Structure 1
Amino acid sequence: MFTLNDIPMFLVNFFIILPIVTLVHEAGHVLIARLFGGKVKFCIGTGRTLFQIASLEVRRKYFMEGWCQYEKLTYNKTWAHVAIYLGGSLFNLIVILIINYLITSNMIPVTLFFYQFTYFSIYFIFFSLMPFRNDDGRPSDGMAVFDVLRYGKSADPID
């Protein structure tokens, strides 16, 4: 049952953990795209731009969503595009495995923060790989993989 005592953790989840999970996800796309020589721009949030650091743009509603856009791959093959689209979920999975390893090795404590971080990471993986298009017509990562395999095209930006 949700009570007033749960509000602080809800705020931590919404304004800290979820944006970090989003950043990890987008970093996966960015790293894989850069490995294939792509020029990359990525963003956390929606609305007006708050600030920009190199190719990362942070927007006013930083807790809402994220995207990554790449172009000019040096190695422009179908499987490179598939790897880029799957890179976000792969990074989320790697971080989950690292957290679990650190907890089982008693290197970090079992806390609600890490539990929630893992929960939101699994949520991100699940919905990112589900093939669908949002209201703007942008594909999820799963739909982008489907498009690349079926039509041989990339679908930027990456969500």
Structure 2
Amino acid sequence: MFTWNDMITFVWAFFLTLPLVAFIHSAGHLFFALLFGGKAKVVLGQGRLLLSLGIFKMRMLYFVDCYSYYEGLKVNNRITQTLVRAGGVIFNLLSIILVNSAISAGYLPKHMFFYQFVYFSVYYIFFDLLPTEYGEGQYSDGKAIWDIWKKGSEEKEKSR
């Protein structure tokens, strides 16, 4: 049962863990877009702009959403497009392996924060790979990857 004692756990999950997982996901897209010569940026949150540092922007409601934009891949084929779209999942998966390895090796404690981190990371991986449209021209990376291999290229270059 959820009680007032659980509010601290809820607050760090909602305002720290989930935005961190979302940022790692978008950083994966960013990494591969830059690796293949594209121009890219990451936007953390919605609402009024709070901070802008080069290719990174943080908005007032930083915990609501995170997304990346990229364009103009210099190495642009099905494999590179797939890696850019799968970059978020790859980074989430690597972060799970890193956290679990660090806990197993005794570098990190067994703590609810890391449990939630892995939980939200798995959540991101699962729902991102489902090939689905969210509406208003937004769709999962799984759908984008499907379209890349079915149609030869994706229509839109925005990743969540």
Partner residue in 2 for 1:100:
100
What is the one-letter code of the residue matched to 2:103? I
Partner residue in 2 for 1:127:
127
Partner residue in 1 for 2:35:
35
For residues 12-48 of structure 1, the C-alpha deviation after alignment (integer angstroms, 9 at most, x for no partner) is 0000011110111011111111111111012111122
What is the one-letter code of the residue matched to 1:40? A
Partner residue in 2 for 1:62:
62
Task: Tell me if 1:115 matches 2:115.
Answer: yes
Instruction: Tell which deviates more after alignment, 76-85 or 45-54.
Output: 45-54
Q: Distance in 2 between matches of 1:129 and 1:148?
A: 14
What is the one-letter code of the residue matched to 2:39? K
Partner residue in 2 for 1:156:
157
Partner residue in 2 for 1:4:
4
Instruction: Tell which deviates more after alignment, 117-126 or 38-47.
Output: 38-47
Q: Distance in 2 between matches of 1:86 and 1:24?
A: 12
Q: CA deviation at 1:54?
A: 0.8
Q: CA deviation at 1:94?
A: 0.3
After TM superposition, the score normalised by the length of structure 1 is 0.96
What is the one-letter code of the residue matched to 2:158? P
Q: Tell me how many residue pairs correspond in the alignment.
A: 159
Identity of aligned residues (%): 40
Moved over 4 A (4+): none
What is the one-letter code of the residue matched to 2:24? V
Q: CA deviation at 1:4?
A: 0.8
Q: Distance in 2 between matches of 1:75 and 1:111?
A: 42
Q: Distance in 1 between matches of 2:138 and 2:24?
A: 20
Structure with the higher strand share, 1 or 2: 2
Q: Distance in 1 between matches of 2:42 and 2:54?
A: 10
Report the 3-state secondary structure (helix = DSSP H, G, I; strand = E; otherwise coil) of the residue aligned with 1:6: helix
